[in-house]
Amino acid sequence: MRAESTIRPTEVVADARALMDAEAGVLAVPFSPGDDDGAQVRLGAGGDTVSAALGLDLAVVLDRERAKARAGEIVSVPVFEAGRGAGSPDGEVDVTKVLLVGLGDRSPGAFRKAGAAVARAARGTERLATSVAVDADDASLRAFIEGAVLATYALGDYRGSAVPGEKRPLRTLVLTGAGDRSQAVTVAATIAKATWTARDLVHTPSNVKDPAWLAEQARGIGDAHRLDVRVRDEKALASEGFGGIVAVGAGSQRPPRLIAMRYEPKRARSPHVVLVGKGITYDSGGLSLKPREAMVPMKTDMSGGAVVMGVLSAVRELGVGVRVTGLVAAAENLPGATAQRPGDVIRQYDGTSVEVINTDAEGRLVLADAMAYAVAELEPTVLIDVATLTGAATIGLGRSHAALYSTSDGLAAALTAAGDSAGERLWRMPLVDDYRFALDSAIADIAHVETTKVGGGSITAALFLQRFARDVTWAHLDIAGTGRADSASGELVKGGTAFGVRALLYWLEAGAPLDEG
């Protein structure tokens, strides 16, 4: 079955020319809140030339519309006769529409919203040129592009025919006056594409994606981006002692996999970042079965793994200077006849025995194996896991902030800063010492969920994982809330967000710092 979206992301190009010469049928002109001279709003770069060339007064249009220049506000201006042939110097391209786009407070976040709004308004368009780059620094330009490429994400569909009236994403986004900005443009487009790749994996239904399928996708990414990919099948996992991954996968006829993707930069510097992703290709809860409504979105329970794969798909193109290994612990959590039972005791990769109390707390069992393996075999300097781990994270923080845990203040600060720049907000949560006893087991080294009620389900999950990081600098991202969006908003579409790809890539691109920098 199809491995990737049948819908192509918008292509982004930096262009040295001016807006009127860019051979585009749709033009996007920015506008900003007015200064204190009384003007409500102010037309941005290119506004006057476009007005003159098309015989429109765009400033008057904004005034009539009582436009406020909120970030992502769009005023759409259809162009009639005067636009004929105006979109190119030789008079061959018709300008049919001008989109006036509000830049709000002109922060990168506002530019991200503006990019998303332009892309939504430009669905079905072949080529759109915009002058926003002229008014944007590199951080804002990148945010605009990420917003524009990601807002129209779609997997394509499994329908026999297209939805009537549904329009494809803008095909080409031209950034005029940005001839010398191609570096920033390429970086942004690469990061957006990596997110797109991860979203494809998340949106794929679970009758198509099983652990073996996910491993095939990793091989494909490895081939395309010159990464070393190694996959352990169920036999290798059992014989090498990956007891958590084996136990979680035992209830499904589609066996588990551990996927390892390795990136070596040209001139490797010493740090080695290992990223671990939860790759539950479907989470029914296992014998501790979920209620039926709770099961519906659970094809997205491999989001952490998808994020890791998305990140690995971009590190070479971004020229990341540190070594990066991605591990995806992939299993399908089903209640088959051979499934693990509540009350079982299993052995993790590092020898820790774990009393399994609730088979629906499966994520930490597969992550623990992968983390322990990384610590024992890969000599990581930094270990970061990403997982849709607990409903409690969503209860605590909602859908806009991911829960971040770390044993290092510096790493926590650096990841938070990267997330802020990337438009993915992380909120640090405590690894509460006083709650550790809750994981005591009467029969094994540790239980995987609380045996005494302390609450804080996202925290106790993190405490369980912490044990397997040993003394390696570690961070944990619980993306259960942020991994899915209930509706389209900004650069997100309904469904999987692939939250984490951008924050991690911003952090890696900065050299994987251990302080705020």
Q: State how far the Cα of 428 lies from the Cα of 420, in Å rounded to an integer.
A: 13
197 Cβ partners below 8 Å, 6+ apart? 4, 221, 309, 310, 313
For residue 283, state whether it binds Mn ion (rule: CB under 5 A).
Answer: yes
The count of residues interacting with Mn ion (CB under 5 A) is 3
Closest to ligand BES by CB, 261 vs 367, is 367
Residue 353 forms beta bridges with which residues? Answer: 347
Q: State how far the Cα of 333 lies from the Cα of 313, in Å rounded to an integer.
A: 26
Nearest to 480 by CA among 502, 456, 496, 504: 496
364 catalytically annotated: yes
Segment contacting Mn ion by CB under 5 A, of 100-108, 149-157, 224-232, 276-284: 276-284
Q: What angle do CA 136, 139, 141 make, to 5 degrees?
A: 45
Segment contacting Zn ion by CB under 5 A, of 64-72, 278-286, 345-353, 400-408: 278-286
Cβ pair 114, 31 in contact under 8 A: no
- Of 364, 467, 484, 502, the catalytic one is 364
DSSP state of 99: E
The single residue among 258, 275, 311, 392 that binds ligand BES, judged by CB under 6 A, is: 392
For residue 176, state whether it binds ligand BES (rule: CB under 6 A).
Answer: no
- Of 290, 341, 428, 470, the catalytic one is 290
The single residue among 363, 419, 481, 500 that binds Zn ion, judged by CB under 5 A, is: 363
Q: State how far the Cα of 334 lies from the Cα of 284, in Å rounded to an integer.
A: 6
Segment contacting Mn ion by CB under 5 A, of 219-227, 250-258, 283-291, 381-389: 283-291
17 catalytically annotated: no
Q: What angle do CA 40, 42, 47 make, to 5 degrees?
A: 140
For residue 332, state whether it binds Mn ion (rule: CB under 5 A).
Answer: no
For residue 283, state whether it binds ligand BES (rule: CB under 6 A).
Answer: yes
Q: State how far the Cα of 53 lies from the Cα of 83, in Å rounded to an integer.
A: 8
Closest to ligand BES by CB, 41 vs 492, is 492
Burial environment of residue 240 by CB neighbours within 10 A (0 to 12, 13 to 18, 19 or more): middle
Closest residue to ligand BES, Cβ-based? 391
For residue 477, state whether it binds ligand BES (rule: CB under 6 A).
Answer: no
Least distance to Zn ion from the beta carbon of 278, Å? 7
Token look-up 């990066």 returns 324
Pairing relationship of beta strands 26-33 and 97-102 according to DSSP bridges: parallel
- The amino acid sitting at 386 is V
The single residue among 200, 210, 301, 355 that binds ligand BES, judged by CB under 6 A, is: 301
For residue 332, state whether it binds ligand BES (rule: CB under 6 A).
Answer: no
Least distance to ligand BES from the beta carbon of 284, Å? 10
Q: State how far the Cα of 339 lies from the Cα of 359, in Å rounded to an integer.
A: 9
Q: State how far the Cα of 37 lies from the Cα of 160, in Å rounded to an integer.
A: 57
Q: State how far the Cα of 367 lies from the Cα of 281, in Å rounded to an integer.
A: 14
For residue 283, state whether it binds Zn ion (rule: CB under 5 A).
Answer: yes
Closest to Zn ion by CB, 93 vs 480, is 480
Report helix angle 182-203 to 303-312, nearest 10. 150
For residue 369, state whether it binds Zn ion (rule: CB under 5 A).
Answer: no
For residue 360, state whether it binds Mn ion (rule: CB under 5 A).
Answer: yes
Segment contacting Zn ion by CB under 5 A, of 175-183, 362-370, 412-420, 478-486: 362-370
Q: State how far the Cα of 233 lies from the Cα of 235, in Å rounded to an integer.
A: 6
Closest to Zn ion by CB, 363 vs 456, is 363
375 Cβ partners below 8 Å, 6+ apart? 350, 383, 468, 469, 470, 472
The single residue among 358, 441, 451, 489 that binds ligand BES, judged by CB under 6 A, is: 358
Burial environment of residue 459 by CB neighbours within 10 A (0 to 12, 13 to 18, 19 or more): buried
Least distance to ligand BES from the beta carbon of 507, Å? 23
Least distance to ligand BES from the beta carbon of 448, Å? 8
Residue 262 forms beta bridges with which residues? Answer: 228, 325
Closest to ligand BES by CB, 122 vs 429, is 429
Closest to Mn ion by CB, 341 vs 470, is 341
Segment contacting Mn ion by CB under 5 A, of 202-210, 356-364, 420-428, 465-473: 356-364
Closest to ligand BES by CB, 271 vs 297, is 297
The single residue among 173, 187, 480, 505 that binds ligand BES, judged by CB under 6 A, is: 480
The residues carrying an active-site annotation are: 290, 364
* Contact residues for Mn ion, defined by CB under 5 A: 283, 360, 362
**Residues at the interface with Zn ion (CB under 5 A):** 280, 283, 301, 363
